[in-house]
Homo-oligomer: A and B are copies of this chain.
Amino acid sequence: MRHKDIWNGLDKLAGHNGLSVSGLAKLAGLDPTAFNPSKRTAKDGRPRWPSTESVARALTAVGAGFDDFAALIEGKRGASAPLIGFAQAGNDGFFDDAGFPAGTGWDEVRFPGLGAERVYALEISGDSMEPVYRAGDRIVVSPDAQVRRGDRVVAKTVEGEVMAKLLGQKTDKTIELVSFNPDYPPRRFARGEVAWIARILWASQ
């Protein structure tokens, strides 16, 4: 990270929120001239670096996280994407001509592997889980995540069998795992037979 990157990131942070750098500084409760281009190098040409406190206040002012700032600096897209309800997608104003999000009303959704969870992915082979999962699909699962009835999960038995199922009834002693394919009957395991259950967070399509 270089001196230029920090200021570039602050410029982008302001721009992405429809602000000038002075507007961003004001919003953050800082001096309006704090981020002025004229304040980025000292009179003797020495580069001036803002304190992390100033950066932190600017970030909280626009509701951005530190990861968002890193994304701006590194030129990456960031860890989130716009989100709206599927039912609203037909309304006008949500998309531009190319099919990208436009206008307001979009929420943000975070992607997997970027939260606190530890996750990994499994690649599906075979058609036993059609139509939900197809060969080549990748599912992202988190053993940390809480599992509830109805969740799609990956379970491993103490015998070593790994399967993707729908979590059915959980009692004190048994766990029911329902197949995606209704032709197969649900399977019921004693608690001790199941080594672990990991929730499926995402699936490639």
Contacts and interface: CB of A to CB of B under 8 A. Distances in A.
A103 B2 CA distance: 31
A66 B52 CA distance: 13
B204 A204 contact: no
Main secondary structure of the interface of A (DSSP, over half): mixed
Interface in A111-131: 111-126, 131
A201 B138 CA distance: 10
Interface stretch (A12-20, A29-37, A88-96, A185-193): A88-96
A168 interface: no
The size bracket of the interface on A is: 35 or more
B65 A74 contact: yes
Given A77-B118, A100-B143, 4 more contacts: A49-B56, A76-B79, A87-B126, A151-B205
Contacts of A6: 52, 56
A84 B114 contact: no
A123 to B, nearest CB: 5
B59 A53 contact: no
B123 A76 contact: no
A96 to B, nearest CB: 10
Contact of A111 (B66, B90, B111, B196): B111
